[in-house]
Structure 1
Amino acid sequence: MGEPKLRFKADDGSDFPDWEDKTLGELFHISAGGDIDKSNCAAKQSKDYPYPVYANALVNNGTYGYANYYKIDGDTFTVTGRGYVGHAVARHCMYVPIVRLLVCQPNMDDDVDFFAEQINYTRVFIESTGVPQLTAPQLSKIKVKRPTLPEQRKIADCLSAVDAVIAAQQAEVDAWEQRKKGVMQKLFSQEVRFKADDGSDFPDWNETRLNKLCEYGTNRGTGGNYVGTENMLKDFGGVAVENRESEGTGSLYGPGDTLMSNIRPYLKKVWTADCEGACSTDILVFHPTNVVPDFLHYVIASDSFVAYVMSAAKGSKMPRGDKAHIMQMPVFVPDKDEQLKIADCLSSMDEVIQKSKDELAKWQELKKGLLQQMFV
């Protein structure tokens, strides 16, 4: 790690001293969590079980449960020792670490938030032929840069302020996605109905089957924009198209077709194509024939559709939906004018969600840039 390009000034305007080269073992006492006392733990927090139990996980900050005792008290940071190895979280509470979760307790006055950020930027990696594992002796050898405590705190406060904005923006994204989910449930259950432009009621919805609305997997069009399961984006917002020729397997797709990953871990990754191309056999292609394309997209993106697909999925490790079963799915459909209104409503919500995601990405990129300048 080189010299930082972005430095803070002392309160009197003077320069802080140069950063020291240290190892984590010189600055912190490092230990592993160990076994959990299950007889003194509970799944939910209460006055009888107030202390968090943290494990090697990223979800919910690694919270495993709650205990009526604690092992660690004071400002520390933990580092995951198994699974997603090397993820650091600053802890400012009494808690119980378990299994291979590593705990770093300062030997002197150091800011744990600063070092947790530095460890995450360093991206600790341990080569392993089996399950990746980071031990206390290995972590103790990791080299870090140590500014004085006042500069550590200035850096940590700056990054914490950016983190607060990122968290608030993520909460906004999550809130809009929940709103959209609620709107979809009300619309597709017909609890909420639109009116025609003249104020009259639309006709009742008709029950049909998916194969009456669209075709599946026929060879249409040409193009080299290839989509495989690995191209489906993590946020379910679309695909990363590779501009390469098809390898002769799978189906072709064209503008207006809805594509969906057909492997269980990636279900709900749905995209309405805006170009021509080809895709792998693990991508389902729905070509609208008797339905508004955007309305079909939201049918495929609904929770009820995913549940239906999984009800007949085949395979133990990586279940895949049965195509014949999928095309027989019962669907209630309004007339095309109401389909358009529903699609326009949900598309408008998607635009708001995307703007919120774009703003989130800007703040995440800002933090990334700050870290690059601070921890060269």
Structure 2
Amino acid sequence: MGRQLMAIHVMAIHGKSFRSDILFHVLSGRRERFQALASGNMIPGISRDDILSLRIKLPTLPEQQKIAAVLGAVDAKLAALAARQAVLVRFKAGLMQKLFSQQLRFTRDDGTAFPDWEEKRLGEVGSFKSGIGFSEDEQGGMDGTPLYKVSDMNLAGNEHQMVRAHNYVTLDQIERLKFKPIRPASLIFAKVGAAIFLERMRRAENFLIYNNMMSLTPNVSISIGFSVYLFAITRLSKFAQVGALPSYNAGDDAALKVSVPHPDEQQKIANALSAMDAKIQAVADQVTKLQTFKKGLLQQMFV
């Protein structure tokens, strides 16, 4: 690699009896040891003596070459999957743009054209509802109706449809506090703060939402499946109230105009885009599975 310069707080290890990539994996397995050595200092750091006193086991150089070949093959597969996922994501984005700009139109099953799209206000296609206040003393329940907060969208399994929450509200609490759960299939999203610019929306049924969230329950003029993609292309954050804390106002959102196709065309659009989502998720699942395999392989080899 030629000569290189390093900052004063950087250390380099080199030698002829090991491959640097193999040594990297060996030392990565000793991360907790390094953290323990560094935590005792006022300014966390590891000395040269700390490194030199560490006893490790390294396979022979020929075996290192074989291990590197296996890991290289796994990394190449991960890179190929990541590239395929990126292609699918770009294709879906292009497809959405063409569908919602009406450059690309579906036809009825008999080949005839659907009617023109109609311009409607969001308040005509669904109802907005802001979340509720819920004191910390009341929170922490594990049974009942889920109370979704913005942070719950990060929970595993909640990537598209909300199925888990940190807090649940009992029937007694609902009656005593006069809460009104939202029963129909709806979309929920962040209502206030920087989270609104993430443009994350999730489906939910039979739920409550905290006061940092808002919901939209579609009516008969728009399907829940189509509405997910309609809002993704609309990008509500463009219409957020700007201030110290950006936020949505239900009245302002309800007044926004959108173009809505015939219900049967909505279904065809939702089916096409959900099929793309399934392909993207399938590749993402392969990436996760292969990353887990690689992690297990490294643990068996070097820990």
- The alignment's TM-score, normalised by the length of structure 2, stands at 0.75
2:56 corresponds, among 141, 145, 160, to 145
Over 3 Å counting, the alpha-carbon distance change for 1:190 and 1:110 in structure 2 is: same
Alignment of 1:321-360 (within 5 A): 321-360=248-287
Q: Give the whole-Å Cα distance in 2 for the aligned partners of 1:257 and 1:152.
A: 54
Choose 325-334 or 102-111, whichever is displaced more: 102-111
2:66 partner amino acid? K
Q: Give the whole-Å Cα distance in 2 for the aligned partners of 1:103 and 1:110.
A: 17
Q: Give the whole-Å Cα distance in 2 for the aligned partners of 1:145 and 1:213.
A: 65
Q: Secondary structure at the match of 1:175?
A: helix
Q: Give the whole-Å Cα distance in 2 for the aligned partners of 1:313 and 1:349.
A: 34
Equivalent position of 2:137 in the other structure: none
Equivalent position of 1:279 in the other structure: 209
Structure with more of its chain in helix, by fraction: 2
Structure 1 position 244, deviation (Å): 4.0
Q: Within the alignment, does 1:297 sit opposite 2:228 as a pair?
A: yes
Q: Secondary structure at the match of 1:284?
A: strand
Structure 1 position 152, deviation (Å): 3.0
Structure with more of its chain in strand, by fraction: 1
- The alignment's TM-score, normalised by the length of structure 1, stands at 0.62
2:18 corresponds, among 106, 110, 123, to 110
Equivalent position of 1:18 in the other structure: none
What stretches of structure 1 of length at least 5 have no aligned partner? 1-72, 75-93
Structure 1 position 213, deviation (Å): 1.2
Equivalent position of 1:231 in the other structure: 152
2:125 corresponds, among 213, 238, 241, to 213
Equivalent position of 1:4 in the other structure: none
Q: Which has the higher contact order (CA 8 A, sep 6+)?
A: 2
Equivalent position of 2:190 in the other structure: 261
TM superposition outliers: structure 1 runs of 4+ over 6 Å? 94-100, 247-251
CA deviations on 1:286-324 (whole Å, 9 max, x unpaired) are 11113111111112222x4144245x34435xx444443
Q: Give the whole-Å Cα distance in 2 for the aligned partners of 1:251 and 1:108.
A: 70
2:201 corresponds, among 254, 270, 273, to 270
CA deviations on 1:213-270 (whole Å, 9 max, x unpaired) are 1111278xx9523432222238983356137413879984445211223443472322
Conservation of the 8 A alpha-carbon contact between 1:272 and 1:294: no
2:146 partner amino acid? N
Conservation of the 8 A alpha-carbon contact between 1:224 and 1:277: yes
Q: Secondary structure at the match of 1:324?
A: helix
Q: Within the alignment, does 1:169 sit opposite 2:45 as a pair?
A: no
Q: Give the whole-Å Cα distance in 2 for the aligned partners of 1:256 and 1:192.
A: 28
